[in-house]
Amino acid sequence: MWIWKNKNYAERNLKNYISLDGFPKIQGYNLDKEFDFKEFIENYKTMGFQGSNLGIAISIFQDLVEKKVPIFISFTGNMISSGNRELITYLVKNKLVKGIVTTGAAIEEDIIKCIKPFHLGSFEAKGSFLSENSIGRIGNIFVPFDRYFYLEKFLNELFPALYQKQKENNKILSTSEVAKEAGLLIEKNEHTSEKYSESFLYWASKNNIPVFCPGITDGAIGDISVFFKNNNKDFAIDITEDNKKLTSLLMNQEEAASIILGGGISKHFLLNAAIFRDGFDYSIYLTTSAEFDGSDSGGNQEEAISWSKIKPDAQRVKVVADATITFPLLISSIIYNRKLNA
C-alpha cells in the first residue's frame, strides 16, 4: 500500500497511535484443551462483534441473578412458538423474574402447547400448499389449524369464568388477571391438564408473578371475546389497570432490570412503565431489529435513555442476533452455575 511505501508518512502517524495494551485481546475458545462450559461461555466476551455483546449480556445476567435484582422480562409471541418457551418457563418456575410483559399470541400458544405440539417445518414451504392442508406457518414452525379448535374449547371455559368473576366483584378484570385465571385453568382443564407443568402461565399464576398483556385482543383471544361479548354485552377486559399495576410494581423496587426479547408492544409497555422511576438500572436487549428506520423495536438503549426509560449509568447491552440462539446461551450460563453451587 502507498502509505507503507512512504516511510516518513507512516512513522509520523504511528507516533500518534494510542496504546491498546489495556484493551482485551480478541481470542476464541481453545478447543485443544479439555472442554469447560463455564470458560466457553465466558470466552464470548473476547469473540468480537455480537459474540462480545452476548458475553456482556451473560455477565450482566449472572450478576443480576447473584445479587437477586428483580428482573422484568418482555417477549413477543414467537418466543413461545419456539423452544424458548421452555427456558421462559424455567425462569418463571424458579422465580427468577418479577414480572412479564408479552402478547396475546404468547398466551394462546402457551395454552395450545399444553394440548398439542408445534412442528419443525421450513421457511421455504409454499403458503398455498400449507393453507390447503390446514397448516399455518410461523417462520419454519408449522402449526396445524386443529390446535385452535382445542384453544377455542379452552377459551369457552375461561370466558364464562372471567365473566362470573367480573359480576361477583363488580369489577372488570385486567389483562394480568385474565392471564392469571388462564394459568390456573390450565391445571384443571381436561385438554391442558396433562401438560400443565410445561406452561409459563401456570407457573406465573402459582408463583404470583404478573403477566401483563397490553395487546391481549390481537389474535384468537380477541376473536373469541367478540363472540362471547355478543351474548354478554357488559363483558370487558380492562387494558388500562395494568399500566398502574406495572408502574407501581417497578416504583417499589430499589433496583430493577429489564430483559427484552424482540420488540413490539411488549417491549415498549415495559420500558414506558419505568419512566416514573427514571428508568431501569440494568437492561439486556436480544433482537434482530435495526434502528435505522426509527422503529421502537430496533431502538437501542441510548434512545431509551433519552426518554428516561433506562438510566444513563445503567449496565446495558443490545445483542443483535436471533433470540433462539442467544437466549438459550444466556439462560444456560446461570443454570450451569446454579448446578455447581447446589
Assign 264 a pLDDT band (cuts: 50, 70, 90): very high
224 vs 9: which has the higher pLDDT: 224
pTM of the model: 0.93
* N-to-C CA span, the chain: 58
The CA distance from 104 to 88, in Å, is 16
Q: Which of the following is catalytic: 309, 311, 318, 339?
A: 309
Q: Residues 96-124: pLDDT tens digits?
A: 999 999 999 999 999 999 999 999 999 99
Number of structural domains in the chain = 1
- Reported residue count of the chain is 342
Position 14 in a domain:
no
Position 45 in a domain:
yes
The CA distance from 262 to 256, in Å, is 19
Domain range for 184: 31-116+150-341
CB 147 within 8 A of CB 115: yes
Position 53 in a domain:
yes
pLDDT at 263 over 70: yes
What is residue 133's predicted lDDT score, i.e. its pLDDT? 98
Assign 68 a pLDDT band (cuts: 50, 70, 90): very high
Position 336 in a domain:
yes
188 labelled catalytic: no
Position 176 in a domain:
yes
Position 15 in a domain:
no
Neighbours of 14 (CB within 10 A): 8
